[in-house]
């Protein structure tokens, strides 16, 4: 039987719902240490996050409800799980958020929810909270709304209209993988078409181009390969103009201090006992590195190197894998190479490349020490450079 708190107060609800919101990373994780999700000191609902535009801030992040009619096998909140269920009403959500906002403790709001009945009924709740903030309470700041898979076009456009950013989790690279996780969700109709609609609404020159769109993959839950994920990543960036893509390593968690964690019972079809827990987090990190190469370093899908199983090597970062596969591009002349050529050198990041370009304006670079203090990364770059 599902455990229910009788008449919980707002703080009790937030303890439950904000902790449950940790499973949605679509604006709370990244490729560097300071981007990763972590709880703020004053409560589980205060999150330091990396925003879709790359900046960092503090968001008030919670679910409206952890009641959910969906059956996603990776999710601890799916309908058949024995967890504490509760729902915030509109005034509780608005008043609590504004209380933190007026004290200067948060920058904006990240609002998601389990599926309460139907996707549109849930979207109506989320949109109504945003409307109260925008129109009744005069809030003009940052709101990130989660779009529920299967929501209607009208509900989605309303969410886009009210938001600074929206996200709909793609979850898997293709329908065959999603079918392993859910019997209810339809990949094309419920996920891909809505993502395309958001892209049309927020594309350059369109009515809501100021609104950022993000999404998230669940990594390792549906026997997908990294090459399949990267293929979809490239399409999402290249054709649909998404702002950020996030990744969540699927893991089995059994923690007795909360009723909102993954079930200790893992479906047989999704058993990954042969894979070390650490490997799936390394895999998640490699995908974030690829994401950075695609978004910021001028790499394309065809540049990414996979092993014979279609996965990214766990022992080598993706840029170095490309460099080893393409020795004809090296060594790179540090005094003549373009910015894009330098960005492909293992060990050189954007800040270091900008420093090289600035240094070259006034003096020739003769050794790696001219670039900056010698570090393990610069030592790696040294073997790929010519002076």
pLDDT of residue 54: 59
Compute how many other C-beta atoms are within 10 angstroms of the C-beta atom of residue 120: 15
Residue 274 confidence (pLDDT) above 80: no
> Residue 11: how many CA atoms within 13 Å on its side-chain side?
4
pLDDT of residue 327: 96
- Among 191, 183, 185, which Cα is nearest to 156's? 191
- Among 150, 154, 166, 163, which Cα is nearest to 199's? 166
Residue 284 confidence (pLDDT) above 60: yes
Backbone phi, psi, residue 109, to 5°: -125, 135
pLDDT of residue 29: 38
Question: What does the pLDDT look like over 205-215, one tens digit per residue?
Answer: 898 999 999 99
Contact in structure between 42 and 49 (CB atoms under 8 Å): no
Contact in structure between 365 and 353 (CB atoms under 8 Å): no
3-state secondary structure of 382: helix
* Percent of the chain residues topping a pLDDT of 90: 60
CA distances in angstroms from 196 to 27, 89, 91, 173, 214, listed in the order given: 19, 31, 32, 15, 12
pLDDT of residue 12: 74
Residue 25 confidence (pLDDT) above 70: no
Domain boundaries, the chain: 10-303, 327-386
> Per mean pLDDT, which range of 24-38, 159-173, 320-334 is the poorest?
24-38
If you average pLDDT over residues 341-366, what whole number do you get? 95
DSSP secondary structure code for residue 290 in this structure: H
pLDDT of residue 20: 59
Residue 140 confidence (pLDDT) above 70: yes
Name the pLDDT band for 8 (thresholds 50, 70, 90): low
Name the pLDDT band for 52 (thresholds 50, 70, 90): low
If you average pLDDT over residues 171-182, what whole number do you get? 95
Provide the strand spans (E) within the chain: 46-50, 56-63, 108-112, 142-146, 165-167, 212-219, 244-249, 332-333, 385-386
- Among 87, 85, 79, which Cα is nearest to 62's? 87
Residue 334 confidence (pLDDT) above 60: yes
Query: What is the architecture of the domain spanning 327-386?
Result: Orthogonal Bundle (1.10)
Query: What is the architecture of the domain spanning 10-303?
Result: Alpha-Beta Barrel (3.20)
pLDDT of residue 259: 33
Q: Across the chain, what does the average pLDDT equal?
A: 83
Q: Report the C-alpha gap between 143 and 44 in whole angstroms.
A: 18
> Per mean pLDDT, which range of 11-15, 32-36, 78-82 is the poorest?
32-36
If you average pLDDT over residues 242-248, what whole number do you get? 92
Residue 294 confidence (pLDDT) above 80: yes
DSSP secondary structure code for residue 374 in this structure: -
């Amino acid at each position: 039987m599902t455990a229910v708190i009788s008449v919980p107060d707002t703080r009790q609800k937030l303890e439950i719902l904000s902790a449950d919101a940790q499973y949605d990373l679509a604006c709370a994780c990244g490729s560097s240490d300071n981007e990763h999700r972590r709880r703020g000191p004053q409560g589980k609902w205060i999150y330091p996050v990396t925003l879709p535009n790359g900046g960092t801030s503090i968001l008030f992040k919670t679910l409206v409800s952890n009641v959910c009619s969906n059956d996603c096998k990776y999710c601890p909140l799916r309908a058949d799980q024995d967890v504490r269920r509760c729902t915030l009403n509109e005034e509780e959500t608005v008043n609590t958020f504004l209380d933190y906002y007026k004290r200067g403790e948060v920058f904006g709001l990240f609002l998601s929810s389990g599926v309460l009945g139907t996707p549109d009924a849930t979207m109506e709740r989320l949109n109504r909270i945003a409307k109260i903030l925008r129109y009744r309470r005069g809030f003009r700041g940052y709101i990130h709304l989660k779009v529920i898979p299967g929501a209607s076009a009208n509900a989605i456009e309303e969410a886009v209209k009210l938001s600074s950013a929206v996200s709909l989790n793609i979850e898997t690279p293709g329908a065959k993988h999603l079918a392993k996780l859910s019997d209810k969700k339809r990949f094309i109709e419920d996920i891909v078409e809505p993502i395309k609609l958001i892209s049309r609404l927020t594309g350059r020159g369109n009515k809501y181009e100021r609104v950022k769109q993000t999404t998230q993959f669940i990594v390792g839950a549906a026997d997908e390969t990294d090459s399949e994920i990267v293929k979809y990543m490239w399409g999402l960036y290249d054709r649909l103009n998404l702002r950020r893509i996030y990744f969540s390593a699927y893991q089995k968690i059994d923690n007795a201090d909360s009723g909102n964690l993954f079930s200790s019972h893992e479906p047989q079809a999704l058993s990954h006992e042969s894979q070390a827990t650490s490997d799936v987090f390394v895999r998640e990190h490699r995908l974030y590195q690829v994401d950075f190469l695609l978004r910021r370093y001028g790499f394309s899908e065809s540049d990414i190197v996979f092993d014979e199983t279609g996965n990214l090597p766990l022992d080598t970062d993706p840029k170095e894998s490309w460099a080893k596969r393409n020795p004809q591009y090296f060594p790179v002349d540090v005094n003549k190479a373009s910015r894009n050529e330098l960005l492909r050198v293992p060990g050189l990041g954007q800040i270091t490349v900008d420093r090289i370009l600035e240094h070259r304006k006034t003096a020739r670079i003769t050794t790696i020490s001219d670039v900056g203090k010698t570090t393990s990364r610069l030592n790696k770059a040294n073997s790929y450079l010519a002076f």
